[in-house]
Amino acid sequence: MVLEPRSPGPFEEYVNRYRDRAVSVRVAMVQASKTLIAAQPSSLTILLPCLEERIKDTSWEVRQMTVDALCTILNGSLRDIPNRIIILLAERTLDKRSEVRKYAITGLVNVISE
């Protein structure tokens, strides 16, 4: 399966779920992105902007899951990730929620150590 916007209607609906009102839907979309990118690395270019947007989400649960997903993706393909994403992850080490800070620090340490 290749994730491509062949039919714009359903694909736009899928991408719009990243901006859904419900926190649980946004969290599920971030988790699905991590799985999709692991299974289909070519989907990184399509899904990375969605994750980049979610790293500054108003909900700390979404930010935490996004940090986790991006760190997991970084561990697998550091060369494919733009520097701006690494900078955004570094900014999350200063997040107002300690849970997000912990995920960001731990994730970046794991990326650096590998």
pLDDT in tens, 12-49: 888 889 999 999 999 999 999 999 888 888 888 889 99
pLDDT of residue 4: 58
Query: What does the buried/exposed string (b/e) look like for 61-95 if buried means 16 or more CB atoms within 10 Å of the residue's CB?
Result: bbbbbbbbbbbbbbeeeeeebeeebeebbeebbeb
User: Which pTM was predicted?
Assistant: 0.87
> What does R_g of the chain's alpha carbons equal in angstroms?
14
Band of pLDDT at residue 77, cut at 50, 70 and 90: confident
Measure CA of the first residue to CA of the last residue in the chain; give whole Å.
30
In angstroms, the CA 71 to CA 84 distance is 14
In angstroms, the CA 23 to CA 94 distance is 22
Going by C-beta distance under 8 Å and a sequence separation of 6 or more, which residues neighbour residue 84? Answer: 52
Contact assessment for residue 111 and residue 78, using Cβ atoms and an 8 Å cutoff: yes
